[in-house]
A and B are shown apart, each in its own frame.
Chain A
Amino acid sequence: MMSALEQYGLLLGLAIGTGGVVLSLYGLARALGPTRREPGKDVPASSGVLSRDPVWGRYHARYYGYALLFLAFDMEMAFMYPWAVVYKEVGLVALLDMGVFLAILFLGLLYGWSQGALRRQ
Chain B
Amino acid sequence: MTLAIVLLALLASVWLLAVTEGWTTTGRLRPAAPLLSGLAHLGRESIVPRTPDRVFFETAPVLFLIVAVLGAAVLPLAPTLVIADLATGALFINAALAYVLVAVIMAGWGPNGAYAMIGGWRFLGQLIAYAMLIVMPITAVAMRAESLVTTVIVGSQGSLWNIVYQPLGFMLFFIAAMALAFRAPFDLPIAAGELGGGVDAEYTGVRLAVLRLARLTLVVTLASAITVFYLGGWHGPLLPPWAWSLIKTLAVAVSMLLVGRYLPRIREADLMRWCWTLGIPLALLNIIVVGVLVLVVP
Contact = CB atoms under 8 A, between A and B. Distances in A.
A43 B73 contact: no
A10 B2 CA distance: 12
Contacts of A66: 125, 128-129, 272, 276
18 contacts: A4-B86, A15-B69, A22-B210, A29-B205, A29-B206, A35-B45, A35-B47, A35-B48, A36-B45, A50-B50, A54-B112, A61-B125, A63-B125, A66-B272, A102-B287, A113-B276, A113-B277, A118-B277
Nearest to A71: B128
A24 to B, nearest CB: 11
A36 B209 CA distance: 19
Interface of B: 3, 42-43, 45-51, 53, 61-62, 65-66, 69-70, 73, 83-87, 90-91, 109, 111-117, 121, 124-125, 128-129, 131-132, 135-136, 139-140, 142-143, 146-148, 196-197, 201-202, 205-207, 209-210, 268-269, 272-273, 276-277, 280-281, 284, 287-288, 291-292, 294-295
Given A42-B48, A56-B117, A120-B272, A109 B206 contact: no
B43 A33 contact: yes
Contacts of A63: 125, 128, 268, 272
- Of the four ranges (under 10, 10 to 19, 20 to 34, 35 or more), the interface on chain A belongs to 35 or more
B168 to A, nearest CB: 16
Consensus secondary structure, chain B interface? helix
A8 B88 CA distance: 11
A26 to B, nearest CB: 6
Contacts of A84: 139-140, 142-143
A90 to B, nearest CB: 10
Nearest to A57: B117
Contacts of A44: 49-50, 111-116, 201-202
